[in-house]
Chains A and B, each alone.
Chain A
Amino acid sequence: MDYKSGVCNFCGTGCGNFLNIKDGKVSGIYSSRNHPVSKGRLCVRGWHFHELLMSDQRISSPMIKVDGSFKKAGYEEAINFMMEKMAKYSDKAAEETAFLASPRSSNENNYLFAKLARSVFKTNNITLDSESGHRSSMNVLGDGAGFPGMTGSLEDISKTGFILVVGSDITKMNPIIGSEIHKAQMAGTKVVTISSRVTQIARLSNTHLQIKPGSKKTLLAALAKAAIAEGKADADFITGSTEGYDGFATSVNNLDLKDIFSLTGIDSDTIAKIAGELCSAKSAMAFWSTGISGLDRDTVSYIYNLLLIAGKIGRENCGANPITGICNLQGGYDMGTAPDLLTGFQKLNDPEASAKFEKSWGVKLNKDSGKDLYKMLADKNSKLKCLVVADHDEGIVRYAKEIETLEFVAYFGTFDNPFVQYADVVFPIAGIIEDEGTYTNTERRVQLSRKRVEPFENVMPGWKLFPMIAAKASLSWKYNSSEDVFREITSLTPSYSGMTYDKIEKSFGIQWPCNDKYPDGCKRLDGAAEGKKFRFAPVTGRFAVPEANADYPILLITSQGQHFWHQNNIMKKTYIPRREYNATLLVYPKGYIEICKEDAGLLQVREHWNVKIVSSHGSMIVAVKISEDVKTGTAYVPYFIREMISSFLLEHNREFDKGEDTIIPIRIERI
């Protein structure tokens, strides 16, 4: 049979698929009916995954940059070149060397990449790309519930009584999760969406709370306050299963509900009604997006605390559910690609954990937490000189100027992409389905993707390439397959310790923790079984909402769409999704700004007219798109144009780092 089962590699949903493999080549895809997550569905991206896998826009051989242009090299030659260059930084690696890992790499490759950084190149400056929002969510859930992952399960969406979607344009970003929420709604689950723009999930919800831009946190706090004030909070649960309630209750009490309408655009009666529905539902889940367009730690803390007040953490069909935008964002953290983490969220500064790794790896580790790469790049006084990057599959290179001035950059990757030009040495790595590998989806489901075709131009898989590099540092890494790497991971990682390739494959993946306590994995955080108290997350109690003013009367919000997903670098290698992207690009070559009819009337502009957007940091020219999806005083820009991101949005670095809550006060000028 030509159809071989696999896992979709785009977003963090982790849908099952079948690839059609004919004569050793990919020639089609089909959805997987019995897969517990996708149940026969795929989104527009998933239905065209085979087109990406067919792409010949690949890195075909190691390359060394000589006088500004690349020449092909053998593996030995390229590795020797890299070792020689990087030797310079070995004494001060903690200051001068950093690694940028990828949420698209498999667990095995991420693990080896981190091992390479820590044991061969002696640096803990390891950053997982596109990461900020997910780490905040992991920290809130890890510190509060002792569970650094989605506490619920995607399979339980259909069984939950109440769903709160915070901000996320989920039917575009993770469509199959959006579908599951929609189907639950059709079957009777109450769905409430909080967002400033009318998204598809907002249209499909029972209630859409169309808030003023930047007031999510305020509204969440108001919901918590209303639940307490109306006596709807789950008092038994709060007393019996949580700690730290008083501090949080005092903090939300400071919020004056009289002002709430002017702050958020939502009246207090509606807030009381929704808070009541959440608390009285038998079970409830909250969803929010993480990753580059995710929420900040404070907002996530309010979501988590609200669920605690409602008694909806650690119970059946409940969940605090951060949704990852990229296939292995969760797995990246699980593999310890962070300055302060080893695998499975073990802390680098935990002597017992680090001793275990030292023994296994045969090296002494530096236990001091490393630094975040992006902070190093932003810091004018940083001593960073050398950067090693894996699979940077985004179209835009952030801090491009700073990276250009580094002394040495090495790149490991599968597809040809914009980062390659910044590198001094480039290594190809066999891609998904050219090598075995596991990927951990947003609900902690570790899934196995088997090798189905031979690697493009015989490029090497990670388990062969990384040990060649380690060997130059006289370390002997003995692997004969990715499975060997996985065995090492499970031996060092309590939450993965019960997993094997065979076991994962037989059950469409296993959700961690999988160990002696949970031999078949763990569908959801079970408060009763854990027997621990959940801690309320500390919050700032600051509710500043960005204000428009006379100079900049409109608040600009940003997001990404389905076809121009993750800055297009990957979508551009397909046919149909690229066509869809191009269809928008042809009409809006400079991008567009959505404003409502009333604002267009005031500004005296019409559909397709070019206008100048001015903020305190800069300006750009875009076309007008008149839309019913935004309210007066709000404008929306989907960021899919390279120049738009690199020359306007990135100038607002501080705001842009806030991900989904990026809000830029602007004025729109006719030109």
Chain B
Amino acid sequence: MYLIEKNNVMKLAEELAKSYSLYGPVVDKDTKQVFFNKVDSASEISLTAEIPAIPPKNVVFPQIERILKYKYDKDAKKVEMAPDFDSSSKALFGIRPCDLTGIVVLDRFFMGLEFVDEVYLEHRKRMFIVSNTCTVPFKQCFCVCTDSGPSADEGYDLNLTDLGDVYLVEAGSDKGREFAEKMGLKAAGAEHTLEKKNAVDKSISLFEKIATDNKAWISRVMNRVTTGFIKEEVWEHIGKQCFECGACTFVCPTCSCFNIEDHNKFNGSTDRLRTWDSCSYEGYTKMAGDHNPRHPVEDRRNKRFFCKLSYSQSKKYLRPGCVGCGRCQWVCPGDIGLPNVVTYIRREITE
């Protein structure tokens, strides 16, 4: 464990920018919306900004990315084809614990099974991650319910915790330790560990009521979702509020469904693209002959919560699929963000 003075903390980012493309939370000047985005200079990054509107999954699994390029020569009947995707080395600076947990889940999906996704691997291979403990929760957060914050415990190279005048810097990997040593950071003492514990405890005490109320309920709800004991009416109540916009899946740090499309360009070549997709769309699960295992909208909704909150799915991710960031709640045109769904199911259990 190390320490760094607050006014020097961005030196870490500046140093990383020398060998990596640097990404971090950036506040849009006009609208005050926070994005997790590539920056030209470390000075654009804000470590105090609220949780970014867009999850950093966009860096490892972009909304649209080219994975292949080809050109078909009609006359010669020949095709030139080459894998062509982003292979830059990236550093994520100031990622929040929930979003880091999201990337850990995505790792298990894209790289943890028999098939390893090359494009994803390329994004992740040389990545350097600096996480940032949330000493104050944001309004919609409920990571205390999903074991994904307010402090990160895995997946980072360095973890920062704001202790007032200094940041506590914890190394989570050899790469992180080497970097801290190279930067000549001071060693931290046992009192700093205690200070961090107090900071995290204080943060936990500040969570909104919906998070603290739901704390014990997430596991009960997981049990219900897994065993299928939830009444049809509850799913229907949820389903009829679904506007089928797909937003909950796009903003979710762990949603990994994608679609493949060919973009024919004006110059005659074609980009093969991978794009985000969503289980809330009817076309997503539609099969030939109008068969759709999840035809009614409530089945599609219920699939999403099955994916986030069931034991069978959690076995694959080694944790629940929800990381408690609360973004689905902000963007939902209905009223069926995950915390609300937990509340609806909870209401049914207690009634």
Which A residues form the contact surface with B (CB < 8 A)? Answer: 1-3, 5, 16, 18, 20, 27-35, 40-44, 46-47, 50-51, 54, 56, 58, 60, 171, 175-176, 178-179, 182-183, 186, 200, 203-204, 456-457, 505-506, 562, 575-576, 579-580, 582-584, 586-587, 608
Question: CB distance B261 to A575 under 8 Å?
Answer: yes
In the assembled complex, the CB of A35 is this many whole angstroms from the nearest CB of chain B, namely: 8
Interface status of B54 (Cβ within 8 A of chain A)? yes
Interface status of B245 (Cβ within 8 A of chain A)? yes
> In the complex, which of the residues B38, B283, B330 contacts A40, with contact meaning CB atoms closer than 8 Å?
B330
> In the complex, which of the residues B53, B63, B261 contacts A27, with contact meaning CB atoms closer than 8 Å?
B63
Question: CB distance B331 to A40 under 8 Å?
Answer: yes
Secondary structure type dominating chain B contacts? loop
Give the nearest-CB partner of A60 in chain B: B266
Question: CB distance A582 to B283 under 8 Å?
Answer: yes
In the assembled complex, the Cα of A470 lies from the Cα of B245 at a distance in Å of 44
Interface status of B277 (Cβ within 8 A of chain A)? yes
Give the nearest-CB partner of B33 in chain A: A33
Question: CB distance B281 to A576 under 8 Å?
Answer: yes
- Specify which chain B residues have a CB less than 8 angstroms from the CB of A586 in the assembled complex: 286, 288
Question: CB distance A583 to B240 under 8 Å?
Answer: no
Question: CB distance A1 to B26 under 8 Å?
Answer: yes
In the assembled complex, the CB of B260 is this many whole angstroms from the nearest CB of chain A, namely: 9
In the assembled complex, the CB of A143 is this many whole angstroms from the nearest CB of chain B, namely: 35
Interface core residue of B250, B275, B332, B333 (most chain A CB under 10 Å)? B333
**20 A-B pairs in the complex with CB atoms less than 8 angstroms apart:** A1-B35, A1-B37, A1-B44, A2-B35, A20-B63, A29-B63, A30-B53, A34-B31, A42-B331, A43-B333, A44-B281, A60-B266, A171-B243, A171-B333, A200-B240, A506-B30, A576-B281, A579-B259, A580-B283, A586-B288
In the assembled complex, the CB of B106 is this many whole angstroms from the nearest CB of chain A, namely: 17
Give the nearest-CB partner of B327 in chain A: A40
Question: CB distance B58 to A31 under 8 Å?
Answer: no
In the assembled complex, the CB of B247 is this many whole angstroms from the nearest CB of chain A, namely: 6
- Specify which chain A residues have a CB less than 8 angstroms from the CB of B209 in the assembled complex: none
- Specify which chain B residues have a CB less than 8 angstroms from the CB of A575 in the assembled complex: 259, 261, 273, 275
Q: How large is the interface on B (under 10, 10 to 19, 20 to 34, 35 or more residues)?
A: 35 or more
Give the nearest-CB partner of A22 in chain B: B38
Give the nearest-CB partner of A183 in chain B: B335
- Specify which chain A residues have a CB less than 8 angstroms from the CB of B63 in the assembled complex: 20, 27-29, 50
Contact with A along B323-341 (1 / 0, CB 8 A): 0000000111111000000
Interface core residue of B37, B53, B243, B281 (most chain A CB under 10 Å)? B243
Question: CB distance A608 to B290 under 8 Å?
Answer: yes
In the assembled complex, the CB of B285 is this many whole angstroms from the nearest CB of chain A, namely: 9
Contact with A along B271-314 (1 / 0, CB 8 A): 00101011001110010111000000000000000000000000
Question: CB distance A40 to B53 under 8 Å?
Answer: yes
Contact (A175, B330) CB under 8 Å given A28-B64, A31-B53, A34-B31: no
In the assembled complex, the CB of A509 is this many whole angstroms from the nearest CB of chain B, namely: 12
Contact (A580, B282) CB under 8 Å given A47-B245, A203-B240: yes
Question: CB distance A2 to B38 under 8 Å?
Answer: yes
Contact with A along B47-67 (1 / 0, CB 8 A): 000000110001000111000
In the assembled complex, the CB of B221 is this many whole angstroms from the nearest CB of chain A, namely: 21
- List the 9 shortest-distance A-B pairs measured between CB atoms, nearest first: A179-B333, A583-B283, A28-B63, A587-B290, A580-B283, A56-B266, A583-B286, A575-B261, A579-B283
Question: CB distance B333 to A176 under 8 Å?
Answer: yes
Question: CB distance B335 to A182 under 8 Å?
Answer: yes
Give the nearest-CB partner of A583 in chain B: B283
Give the nearest-CB partner of A58 in chain B: B266
In the assembled complex, the CB of A172 is this many whole angstroms from the nearest CB of chain B, namely: 9
Name 18 extra pairs, CB < 8 A, besides A29-B63, A171-B333.
A1-B26, A1-B28, A5-B30, A18-B28, A30-B53, A31-B53, A31-B331, A42-B247, A47-B250, A51-B275, A171-B243, A175-B245, A183-B335, A562-B244, A576-B246, A583-B286, A584-B282, A587-B289
Interface status of B343 (Cβ within 8 A of chain A)? no
- Specify which chain A residues have a CB less than 8 angstroms from the CB of B182 in the assembled complex: none
- Specify which chain B residues have a CB less than 8 angstroms from the CB of A44 in the assembled complex: 243-246, 281
In the assembled complex, the Cα of A632 lies from the Cα of B242 at a distance in Å of 27
Interface status of B205 (Cβ within 8 A of chain A)? no
In the assembled complex, the CB of A265 is this many whole angstroms from the nearest CB of chain B, namely: 23
> In the complex, which of the residues A16, A28, A175, A584 contacts B62, with contact meaning CB atoms closer than 8 Å?
A28
In the assembled complex, the Cα of A179 lies from the Cα of B333 at a distance in Å of 5
Question: CB distance A50 to B245 under 8 Å?
Answer: no
Interface status of B32 (Cβ within 8 A of chain A)? yes
Give the nearest-CB partner of A575 in chain B: B261
In the assembled complex, the Cα of A562 lies from the Cα of B297 at a distance in Å of 14
Question: CB distance A30 to B245 under 8 Å?
Answer: no
Contact (A34, B33) CB under 8 Å given A43-B243, A200-B240, A204-B240: yes
Give the nearest-CB partner of B240 in chain A: A203
In the assembled complex, the Cα of A171 lies from the Cα of B330 at a distance in Å of 18
Interface status of B39 (Cβ within 8 A of chain A)? yes
Question: CB distance A30 to B333 under 8 Å?
Answer: no
Interface status of B241 (Cβ within 8 A of chain A)? yes
- Specify which chain A residues have a CB less than 8 angstroms from the CB of B175 in the assembled complex: none
Question: CB distance B259 to A576 under 8 Å?
Answer: yes
Question: CB distance A32 to B281 under 8 Å?
Answer: no
In the assembled complex, the Cα of A580 lies from the Cα of B292 at a distance in Å of 13
Interface core residue of A30, A42, A183, A506 (most chain B CB under 10 Å)? A30
Interface core residue of A183, A457, A576, A586 (most chain B CB under 10 Å)? A576
In the assembled complex, the Cα of A2 lies from the Cα of B54 at a distance in Å of 12
Question: CB distance B281 to A50 under 8 Å?
Answer: no
> In the complex, which of the residues A41, A51, A457 contacts B331, with contact meaning CB atoms closer than 8 Å?
A41
Give the nearest-CB partner of B271 in chain A: A54
Interface status of B186 (Cβ within 8 A of chain A)? no
Contact (A33, B330) CB under 8 Å given A27-B62, A56-B266, A183-B335: yes
Question: CB distance B263 to A5 under 8 Å?
Answer: no
In the assembled complex, the Cα of A2 lies from the Cα of B333 at a distance in Å of 26
Contact (A576, B245) CB under 8 Å given A3-B28, A28-B64: no
- Specify which chain A residues have a CB less than 8 angstroms from the CB of B266 in the assembled complex: 56, 58, 60, 456-457
